Structure 1
Amino acid sequence: MRQTVIGVFVGLILAGVGVFWWQGRAQVELYAPPPPEPEELVEIDPNELPESDPGDMVGPAPPEASELTREERRFFRYDRNRDRIITRQEMLSSRSDAFRALDVDGNNLLTFEEWAVTTSERFEKMDENKDLELTQAEFATSAPRRRPRRASCNC
C-alpha cells in the first residue's frame, strides 16, 4: 500500500515538472522573432549566361604526379601510413598473401605462428640497425631477384 502511494506521488511530481517544462517551452516559442520577409525575386533569363571578369587572378597550380621507381612502389605497398618508415606491424600486416610459401613443416597448412616467425626473422635480417623500423635503404635489401625473361618463340 505504501509503495502504491509513493508511486502515485512520484508520478504526480513528474507530471507537474513536465507541464511546467512544456509551458516554458511554449513561451519561448511565443516570443521568438518573426521570420524575415521574403526578398523580391529577380527574374533571370535562362538563356543568358552570367559573365565575370577574373582580371589578373590565377588559380593554384595543379599538383604534379611524380613517377615512382619500382622500389619506391614496392616500399609504399608496405608503408601504410606513408611516413617513409616500415614498422614491424606494417610489415607483418601486408605479408598475409605469402602464407602458402612460408609452410615450415611442409604439412600444407600454415599456422599464424609459422608465418609470424618467418616474417619476423626476415624483418630482423633487413633491420640492420635493430631499431625495429625499416628505412627505404634497409627495405631495398629485400628486393626479389629479377629473372631475365626468355624470348618467346612465335613460330
Structure 2
Amino acid sequence: MLRGLLGGLATLMLVAAGVFWWQGRAETGFGAAPVLAVEQASEAVPDDLPSADVDGLMGVAPPEATEVGRETKRFNMLDKDRDNRITRNEMLAARAKDFRKLDKDGNNLLTFEEWAHTTVDKFKFADGNGDLWLSREEFATTRPKQKPKPKCSCK
C-alpha cells in the first residue's frame, strides 16, 4: 500500500515537473522577415547594414535565478554523477583520497605509524642523534613557533 502511494506520488511529481519544464521552455516567435522592394534594393548602398522595424517587438524574458539551499549544495557536492542519488562510493570518495594520502606504502593497510605520521615525522626530526628518545634540548625544537602579536590599531 505504501509503495503504491509513493509510486503514485512520484509519478505525479514527474508529470508536474514535465509540465513546468514544457511551460518554461524558451520560445521565440518570429514573424515574417521584412522584404525589401526591388526599387529599394537597387537604391541601397552595398556598404549599409540591413535594418528591420523592431518597434513593438518584445523578446522572451530571461529566466529568474533560484536560490539553492545549503542542503542542496551539500547534496550536489557529493552526487558526482548527477543522478539525484548518493551511492556509498560517492559518499566515501573524499575519505578515500585522504586515506591514500595517509597510506605511505600503498598497501591499503593503515598502520599506526602511517596514521600518526605528523607526530612520527616531528619526533624523527627532533631526535637528532637517533637514540629514539628526546632530551630536553631536542624536545625544545618541537615547540610551536610563536605568532607575532598584532599591533594595536587604537587611534
TM-score by length of 2: 0.32
Q: Which has the higher contact order (CA 8 A, sep 6+)?
A: 1
TM-score by length of 1: 0.32
